[in-house]
Amino acid sequence: MLPRQSRRCRFGLVVVRGESMQPTLRDGDLLLIDRSRRPTVGELAIVRFADGEVSVKRVDLIEEDGYFVTRDNPQQGRDSWTLGGVAIPSADVLATVITRVGPPRRPKEA
């Protein structure tokens, strides 16, 4: 993830890096995020793993000890389950993804 605006703003833009959220998101996609809204189950969130890596993941489960997140591409990346069922602490859930704003996608060829 590459932040596009100051962390002080409620809304921001981030660029997706990697393939862990394919086919939903692709490397290079631009996302509009809301730093003030907590994600719900099924939504995409910007999370920080214990080693400091920031990534976009899908919220799978919310419990007292934090958020369990998953990737859409089981062949790439990591998530709560590949880390042994580890919850992301609420303080490390940085934003909720509102929408993908670009780049435009080409239609699939027949």
The pairing of strands 44-48 and 93-102 is antiparallel
pTM: 0.86
In angstroms, the Cα distances linking 12 to 3, 54, 99 are 7, 15, 11
* 30-77 confidence digits (pLDDT tens): 999 999 999 999 999 999 999 999 999 999 999 999 999 999 999 999
Q: Which domains does the chain have, with CATH numbers?
A: 2-102 (2.10.109.10)
pLDDT at 109: 62
What's the chain's Rg over C-alpha atoms?
14
pLDDT of residue 6 exceeding 60, the answer is no
Question: CA–CA separation, 23 vs 71, rounded Å?
Answer: 10
